[in-house]
Amino acid sequence: MRIAPILSQFAHQLGVVAVLAGLCLGPSRALAAEPNRSALPDVFPADRLLWELDLGSHQYTVPLVDAGQIILGVNDMELDHPAAESTGGGILMCRKAATGELVWQLPIPRNMEGNIPPSHFNHWKCGVCSRPVVEGDRLYLVSPRGDVLCVDRNGQADGNDGPYLDDARYMGVPAGSAYQLTKTDGDIVWRFDLIKELGVVPHDVCGSSPTQWGDCVYFCTSNGQDHRHEKMVNPKAPSLIAVEKATGRLVAVEDEGISARTFHGQWSSPVAAEFGGRPTIVFGGGDGFLYGFEPADASSAGKTPVKLKCIWRRDCCPADYRVRDGVPIPYSGWKKKSPEGPSEIISTPAVDHGRIYVAIGQSPVHGPGRGALSCVDGATGEMVWQNCQVSRTLSEAAICDGLLYLPDYSGILHCIDAGSGEIVWQHDLEGGVWCASAMVAGGRVYVGTERMAYWVLRAGREKEVLGKGRTQSMAITTVVAEDTFFLPTQRRIFAVKMGKAQPGF
């Protein structure tokens, strides 16, 4: 999942997206394994702990592990930097996956320019809420200040790559400072400002991750409602854009009216896939529809951005969620919580064997309610099946050996036959799930809840609970890379050696 997707009163008030960010206490907090002092959940053997990193108080971003590095998106409330100061923004941080040692960090100050209408954007100081996509020596992400960035994965160690060169000022180093960039500073290659260039008004956070196809990167803009939750501030702003990888030039925008129909905000992450030989950009809208777009071609686009061609769209809200007896059913909200009504798509679509699996959901602040898991044919956009036993969820489906594992905000982990949509088994997790997706590895299913329980179940058609542990803070989506199991929580991230047997049982 690229969203796991986001316990305390503070965290619940955010109520935005499954992948949020937290804060970090700087480069000195990478700790060697000390089993007797560790906060590692007891479902994992203490002697397999490689290292753990203290991240602070709230952290929700799913780590990216690639080429020996681990990329974290965090909050800057405990920023440790010789020249930049905390502003309530974020940090993009690169560390060595083997040891947790800092490679470089890029402070991203909060947007305080006053160039957006009143909204909840920046209100909660969530930090980086976008898991970067990587290609070669470049990382692409949505920043917490409302722009999209291309970042050199080597940081300043190989020099200050252009065309963007004002990295120190971007990081918040005061004008006139004698500070010189070092190899532990990040390096921005190019920047595109969503707010200035497109009039986007992000709601709460820029909370989605990009995808790439061909010569373009695709970003959700997080365009949303005003601070009163009464209207879309800019209903004409695009929800999805394509930007040229090499230069940051805007190539294409969606023009399907998604923003005008959006219920609350837009935080789902686009996914690139090929169906029947046809490349498609799959996107879950804030209006409850799943869209398939034809990829843009930067080489043939002119200076003016073109419209992304919509191949198909499919309503993932059952008809009786939207209208009853000819009367529209109101959308739930934090002021008037209701289990009824339609929902948006916040989770990231999962693609498997030509099919797309995606669930609808809302901010956890709105409470549990009627949800639906849809299976859509990726080539035609036709509904294959729909399961309405799933409650609202922000989680991405985990698919393995023909079975789909999906936790929801009512606290139920569903095991579903991916072919038919039939429930195979369900398990009560004794707590809602809204900041994580299930992860399947080595024949086991791992998932954490908002009540800080961490469950391990056997994957397969027969339900078997292998263990239940506790985390000191809420667990985020677990990541496995090569022989290491990475478990992020709000306050820490743990690296556990897997070896021949999986950690746990």
CA distance 380 to 440: 29
Classify residue 369: in a domain, yes or no: yes
Please report the pLDDT score of residue 25 as a whole number: 29
- Show Cβ contacts of residue 34 under 8 Å, excluding neighbours closer than 6 positions: none
Q: Is 501 exposed, middle or buried (0-12, 13-18, 19+ CB in 10 A)?
A: exposed
CB 445 within 8 A of CB 405: yes
CA distance 391 to 387: 10
Closest C-alpha to 162, from 189, 187, 182 = 189
CB 346 within 8 A of CB 18: yes
* CATH number of the structural domain spanning residue 340: 2.130.10.10
DSSP state of 183: T
Q: How far, CA to CA in Å, does 27 sit from each of 24, 56, 100, 126?
A: 9, 12, 9, 20
Tens-level pLDDT at each residue, the chain (505 residues)? 333 333 332 233 343 333 322 222 233 345 555 545 578 888 888 999 999 988 756 677 899 999 999 999 888 888 899 999 998 889 999 999 999 999 999 999 987 666 666 677 877 778 898 999 999 999 999 999 999 999 999 999 999 988 999 999 999 999 999 999 999 999 999 999 999 999 999 998 898 999 999 999 999 999 999 988 999 999 999 999 999 999 999 999 999 999 999 999 999 999 999 999 999 999 999 999 999 999 999 988 788 999 999 999 999 999 999 999 999 999 998 888 999 999 999 999 999 999 999 999 999 999 999 999 999 999 999 999 999 999 999 999 999 999 999 999 999 999 999 999 999 999 999 999 998 999 999 999 999 999 999 999 999 999 999 999 999 888 989 999 988 999 998 878 999 998 665 555 4
Residue type, 55: L
Q: Give the distance between the most distant pair of CA atoms in the chain.
A: 69
CA distance 50 to 44: 12
Classify residue 80: in a domain, yes or no: yes
Phi, psi of 27 (to 5 degrees): -70, -15
CB 257 within 8 A of CB 237: no
Q: How far, CA to CA in Å, does 15 sit from each of 110, 130, 205, 265, 367?
A: 19, 16, 10, 11, 10
Strand-strand pairing, 188-193 and 147-152: antiparallel
Classify residue 480: in a domain, yes or no: yes
Query: DSSP letter string over 310-377?
Result: EEEEEE-S-HHHHEETTEEPPPP-SSS--S-S--B--SPPEEETTEEEEE-B--GGG-S-B--EEEEE
CA distance 332 to 343: 8
Number of domains in the chain: 1
Please report the pLDDT score of residue 41 as a whole number: 87
* Overall size of the chain counted in residues: 505
Classify residue 348: in a domain, yes or no: yes
**DSSP reduced 3-state for 493:** strand
Residue in the structure block whose two tokens are 């800080």: 452
Classify residue 3: in a domain, yes or no: no
- Show Cβ contacts of residue 302 under 8 Å, excluding neighbours closer than 6 positions: none
Boundaries of domain holding 195: 9-497
Question: How many Cβ atoms from other residues are within 10 Å of residue 174's Cβ?
Answer: 11
CA distance 259 to 160: 37
Q: What is the pTM of this model?
A: 0.92
CB 100 within 8 A of CB 26: no
Phi, psi of 115 (to 5 degrees): -105, 15
Classify residue 161: in a domain, yes or no: yes
Classify residue 2: in a domain, yes or no: no
Residue type, 181: L
Q: What angle do CA 495, 403, 344 make, to 5 degrees?
A: 85
Structure tokens given for 141: 């992400």
Classify residue 280: in a domain, yes or no: yes
Please report the pLDDT score of residue 214 as a whole number: 96
- DSSP H or E stretch at residue 52: strand 49-54
